[in-house]
Structure formats: C-alpha cells, structure tokens
Amino acid sequence: MRRRENPYLNYDQQMLGDIYTAGEAMDNLITLCDDFGSRFGGTEGERQAVAFLREKFTGYGLSNAHLEPYTYNGWIRGEACLEILEPIQRTIPCISLPYSPPAQIQGKLLYLREGGPDDFARQHDQIRGKIVMVTSKNPPQLSRWVHRSEKYNRSVVAGAVGFIFMNHYPGLGPATGSIAGNREALIPGISVSKEWGEFLVRLAERKGEVTLRITTTDKTEPMQSWNVVAELPGQRYPDELVIIGSHYDGHDISQGAEDPASGMVVVLEAARVLAKYAREALDRTVRFIGFGNEEIGLIGAREYVKAHQDELSRIRFMLNLDSAGGRKRKGIVLNQWPELEPLLQEVAAEMVAEMPIGQQTSAFSDHFPFFLEGVPTGMMGDAETPREGRGFGHTAFDTVDKVLLSNLREAAANVCRVVLRIANHAAWPVKRRSPEQVRTLLESDANLEIMRLREAVEKLYQERGK
Ligand SMILES: [Zn+2]
C-alpha cells in the first residue's frame, strides 16, 4: 500500500476514534428500518423518516437543516394475479413492479432468458403480442450491467403486451424494481420467484405454448415528497459546494436496509463527525442530502437538480452514497473523471485506507441527474469488481440483519476523510462539463444504452397520447 504524509492526521484520529466506538450508525439504521419500514413514497414511514433525518442533522449541529418539498406521481401497489390459461389452469404467485398500470392482458409466454440485447435481437419478430419473461441475471456474455428497465423497455419497444421479471436467486421470492420513472408504465410488469419462473419455463419446454393472463390493480396518483438538506458552511469559500447524499426510500416490499439505508446512515455519520471535529477546518461548504423516491425514477434527485440550477457550477463534487454501508468495497467509482483518479489515489495513500478508485458510469442512482448537468460525480463502490446482481436487494429480505456494523464504520470512515480533503484541496483539477461534453459521453458509453432506449419509449408514450 502506498504511503504519503498525512496533514489531517489529527482530524482523522478524532473522527475515526468516534466512528469506531459509537453505536450511532447502527442505531440510526435500526430506527429507519424497524420503526419506519420501507419509507417508500406515500407511506407514513416516509414522513417519519424525513422528520427523523432533519432532527438528526439539527441535533448534530448542522446549519439550515430543512425539507425541500416537491410533487410527483406516486405509485400504490394493488393485488396482482398471474394465471396460466393453457395448457393447464393454475394461478402463480406474483407482485406488480412499480408504475405498472392497472390492466388485464393475455398472451403467449416468450422466455428470453437473461434479456440481453442478443436475446431480444434473436427473437425480435416473435415478441409482438407476447408476454415476455426475463430473469434478473446479467447476460453472461456482456461486460456491462443490463438493468431491469433496459429489459422492460426492449420488450415494450418490440411490442410485448406484458412483462415478467423472474428473480434468478433461489429462496428470495420475487424481486421488485420500477419499470418507469415518475409516470405510469406502458405495459403491465410483474415479478415472480425463481421457483415459479422455472415452473413456467419447464411447462413451456414440455408442452409447447403457454398462454397467460396478467391482472394488475395498481394506482399512480399525485403525491408530495421531500428531500432533506443540511450543511456545514465552508470557512473560506462558502459558495463552493461538496455534496454527499443518499436516497432514504426503500422498496415497499422491504425494509430497504442495505439499499439504501446503509448509505443514508453513512451520510448521517459523516455529518455527525465532521460537525463535531472538523467544522472549523472545512474550506468549502459540505451539503448533506437525503433524497426521496430514488427507487421509482431518481425523482428526488431530479427535483433537487431542477430547483438548484443556479448552484450547479459551484458544486466541486457530488458523492452518491446509495447503499454505501453494504457489501461492496468502500472505494470511489468516478463517473468518467480521469483527472480525479490520481488525486484520489494520493488521498487514499495519505489516509492509509483501502479505497479502490476507478471509473464507471451508471444511469441508475441519484448521481445521474447531476451527471447529466455536467457536475463532477462519483459513487461509493468498487469499479474493479464486476457487478454480479442484487442478491437479496430489492426483495423482502433486504433487512437490518444483512448489514454489518464493520461495513457502516468503514464506509463512514472513508467518507468523512475523503470529503474533508475534497472540500479543502487547493488545486481541484475539474470543473462542470458543458452540455456538448455530456452529450458526447452519453453517446459513446455502452453503459448508457438505456438512454437510447428511453427515446424509443418516449415516442411510444407520445403515440399513445400518454
Ligand atoms: Zn438505492
């Protein structure tokens, strides 16, 4: 491991001594998950969580802890039913995916395995009028991550009438996840467990065609939600900002303990120790944000960016801590900012911390609305380890017992130290990208394939007058 002299040793020792001897992070996690439940948009637990986060920020001594309200299209789960009509009659347990419209459709099952671009291309002419089923597994031949919404959008664009998302992990039930953002989706989407998905696959193999009927009863309606915002003012350049944030909403079938609460409590913990030990040492303002409604389309983060247009050029860096205290390594994944890599490697050497620094892009968490505006962004994680899948994430089993205190501590320790250094670095080498630079990145990056598919889906919305 590389070493480097540490000018912040005194701050580091105090902050880390506190993090590693306090129970606050785990206490906060338990409160968010066990007391408030999923915190999904529209629930009582969401309101309780929002009040709790503001109180915590205030209690830790942050300035201007407040709520930023916005309206959006919320989603309310209804009963979902999946029936086999032919060649046997049977009802299969299932759940709707967020933003599924209320609908009743029927069609023949078309199983497209992992739902990679090749799977869709191979059977492209057979998709129209069918109910497409894909698994949650990543297509093994691809080096990039294929998100559920890419699989769903490909189905919609090819003319499918329904979508079944089959969990590929045994014993975890169905896996949820939204199929649209901030509006009703075009065709119904449901999820089944691996075991029931395999049942359907076997039935199709043994008997040929399988006819299914999907009935959904979900509702999409206007709601209000809130981002929770607080800050530690910079002592020398208060107008310049470093943002750290995580969403606080989980999926409605789950406690959302790893995703996202393990990240939200790292935001709180970093706020707590920076306020306590490094408040006077921060050159630039550090702003802490709990974003709402990430799970159904990054809605809180999109609203935040919309409301703070005049500040975006003054954001030095936005670090997204979604799920930061979970199983992933506690490094930093930069969203294509090569100039920051050597700088953060030196920071890691100075901290004598395991903090892999790498580059990757993803359109699927709260950094993305900032990324689209050209703001320098990154996420806690590890760019070197290929993404495998969510495991218990997005299932009913993302519960408090899955989160390790050691992971919360390591994440909080790395975050508070990195944020102090980012806020104080004298020769920050990057600034906001121009819209042209952002467009070039969007067009050239295979990880952002979803953006091209979204355009095709957008056209369908317009054609259908939705
Ligand atoms: Zn998340």
Q: Where does residue 252 fall: left (phi above 0), alpha (psi -120 to 50 degrees), or beta otherwise?
A: alpha
Q: What is the pLDDT of residues 362-376, one digit of tens each?
A: 999 999 999 999 999
Preceding omega of 87 cis (within 30 degrees of 0): yes
Q: What is the pLDDT of residues 281-320, one digit of tens each?
A: 999 999 999 999 999 999 999 999 999 999 999 999 999 9
222 C-alpha to ligand 1 centroid (Å): 22
Length of the chain, in residues: 466
261 C-alpha to ligand 1 centroid (Å): 8
304 C-alpha to ligand 1 centroid (Å): 17
410 C-alpha to ligand 1 centroid (Å): 19
If pLDDT is split at 50, 70 and 90, which confidence band does 384 have?
Answer: confident
Question: What average pLDDT does this structure show over 199-223?
Answer: 97
If pLDDT is split at 50, 70 and 90, which confidence band does 4 have?
Answer: confident
Domains of the chain: 9-75+222-433 (3.40.630.10), 78-217 (3.50.30.30)
If pLDDT is split at 50, 70 and 90, which confidence band does 1 have?
Answer: low
pLDDT of residue 259: 97
98 C-alpha to ligand 1 centroid (Å): 15
Give the bridge partners for 213, in sequence order: 83, 106
Using a pLDDT cut of 90, give the percent of the chain over it. 93
Instruction: Report which of 260, 183, 251 is spatially closest to residue 28, judged by C-alpha positions.
Output: 260
d(CA 212, CA 194): 17
d(CA 266, CA 413): 9
Q: What is the pLDDT of residues 30-70, one digit of tens each?
A: 999 999 999 999 999 999 999 999 999 999 999 999 999 99
For the cut 80, the answer to whether the pLDDT of residue 27 exceeds it is yes
d(CA 336, CA 247): 22
Backbone angles phi, psi at 147, to 5 degrees: -75, 150
451 C-alpha to ligand 1 centroid (Å): 19
For the cut 90, the answer to whether the pLDDT of residue 98 exceeds it is yes
324 C-alpha to ligand 1 centroid (Å): 9
367 C-alpha to ligand 1 centroid (Å): 11
Question: What average pLDDT does this structure show over 148-170?
Answer: 97
Range list of H helices, 113-175: 117-122, 148-157
259 C-alpha to ligand 1 centroid (Å): 5
403 C-alpha to ligand 1 centroid (Å): 14
88 C-alpha to ligand 1 centroid (Å): 39
260 C-alpha to ligand 1 centroid (Å): 5
For the cut 80, the answer to whether the pLDDT of residue 386 exceeds it is no
Instruction: Report which of 320, 329, 178 is spatially closest to residue 260, judged by C-alpha positions.
Output: 320
364 C-alpha to ligand 1 centroid (Å): 8
52 C-alpha to ligand 1 centroid (Å): 19
pLDDT of residue 445: 87
pLDDT of residue 187: 98
If pLDDT is split at 50, 70 and 90, which confidence band does 385 have?
Answer: confident
